[in-house]
Amino acid sequence: MSWPGPRQTGRVRTLLAARPAVFVATVSAVALAVGVAGAAVLAKRAGGAATWRVPVAATASSPVPIPPSASPSASPAASTELISLSATGDIVMGDAPGSLPPNGGRGFFDQVRQALAADLVMGNLEEPLTEDTGYAKCGAGSTSCHQFRAPPSYARHLRDAGFQLLNLANNHAYDFGPAGNRNTRAALEKYGLKHTGAPGQITVVEVKGVKVAVLGFSSYAWSNSLIDIDAAQQIVRKAAEQADIVVVQVHMGAEGSDKIHVRPGTEMFLGENRGDPVRFSHSVIDAGADLVVGHGPHVLRPMEFYRGRLIAYSLGNFAGGGGTLNNAGRLGLSAVLKVSLRPDGTWGSGQLISTRLGAGGRPVLDPDKDSLALVADLCRSDFPRTAPKWGARGEIRPPR
């Protein structure tokens, strides 16, 4: 595989696209109560997406400081400070009414809260937050179909853990139909949490004066399509015109404990087209994405750099409250991905923090770093030329 040439990124690409530089003078602002996270402010751009401002005081840095790589040429960005992002794989806090964690879920994420801390904390919410809507994806007595839901109040636990933005582009988003999805979005918004993943949805968050756009993709009709590559590139280009950094969240790839490797080509699962992870990821980076965060296979998968941008092909099962997710062997291994990017989207630093599914499916830190060992192994196997270089504590560095 040949190393691609440089691409136009960040504010440089937006300048070339002649992005309007003036915001609407009369900005619609809504203060949302978000507890310890402070207040997020929603502003409307002229002809663009809603922008959520994250207060600097509500952020925290990575538990392991990582020196950035050599500085690029000067960016036209007003701020040169690194923007820290964290991301997880699948989150299921429990299944109502009979498989919920003890104490109403309080403290569910306590053991990983510090590991999650970043300027923008993202996760893949793998269940609706809704009461029973009268609609269920699975038939009565089904043994091969899985559906989940947690009470709407569980959005509080996500907020208390430090999450700020949840991806809803996945196969469980509509487990309780359109009403369940609407209830999920309402529950997240009640607690000041942002969401992404609906068709055409570009969620823009402003962090330290830098605009970060997050988009969600899956193979299902209720999300941006990972199958239609042309359409995916089109919406990523649109996001790149509206923001300085573009993050793609994508639910892709076949499921199972043996699905740890990434190879070129389309992956199928139970007759469903789960996309071509390599082609999709490379294509959205070609269109302007700065980071690709994958999930869906329920196992960790390798990572690679493409055109200087990191692709994490799957971050595994982050939480399976109430014993909802199998935690045997590889299925119980997970991680928190920490990435710091410059305001133009170029690489700053990164780290993979090993976690696992603990008792009752709660996420806990993994002092043995089994997750890191597995991912590093897979990287050497699947992407020998483009895989990251790894530090002893999970530091991520581009290949040389």
Separation between Cα atoms, residue 158 and residue 112, nearest integer Å: 12
The pLDDT value given to residue 73: 31
Q: Are the C-beta atoms of residues 346 and 273 closer than 8 Å to each other?
A: no
The pLDDT value given to residue 55: 57
Strands (E), 176-327: 194-196, 203-207, 210-218, 224-225, 245-251, 268-269, 272-273, 291-295, 303-306, 309-312, 317-320
According to DSSP, the β-strands at 39-44 and 31-33 are antiparallel
Helix, coil or strand: residue 37: helix
- CATH, range 10-18+27-61+81-133+147-397: 3.60.21.10
Separation between Cα atoms, residue 51 and residue 224, nearest integer Å: 19
Question: What is the DSSP-derived secondary structure letter of residue 395?
Answer: B
Separation between Cα atoms, residue 377 and residue 179, nearest integer Å: 43
Helix, coil or strand: residue 164: coil
Separation between Cα atoms, residue 202 and residue 213, nearest integer Å: 6
Per-position pLDDT tens, the chain of length 400: 333 444 444 444 543 333 333 333 333 333 333 343 344 444 444 344 556 666 544 443 334 444 443 333 334 444 579 999 999 999 999 999 999 999 999 999 999 999 999 999 999 999 999 999 998 888 777 777 889 999 999 999 999 999 999 999 999 999 999 999 999 999 999 999 999 999 999 999 999 999 999 999 999 999 999 999 999 999 999 999 999 999 999 999 999 999 999 999 999 998 899 999 999 999 999 999 999 999 999 999 999 999 999 999 999 999 999 999 999 999 999 999 999 999 999 999 999 999 999 999 999 999 999 999 999 999 999 999 999 999 999 999 999 8
Q: For residue 349, what are the β-bridge partners?
A: 340
Name the helix (H) or strand (E) containing 154. none
Separation between Cα atoms, residue 184 and residue 170, nearest integer Å: 13
The pLDDT value given to residue 49: 57
The pLDDT value given to residue 141: 75
pTM beyond cutoff 0.75? yes
Helix, coil or strand: residue 254: coil
Q: Are the C-beta atoms of residues 96 and 149 closer than 8 Å to each other?
A: yes
The pLDDT value given to residue 70: 36
The pLDDT value given to residue 80: 74
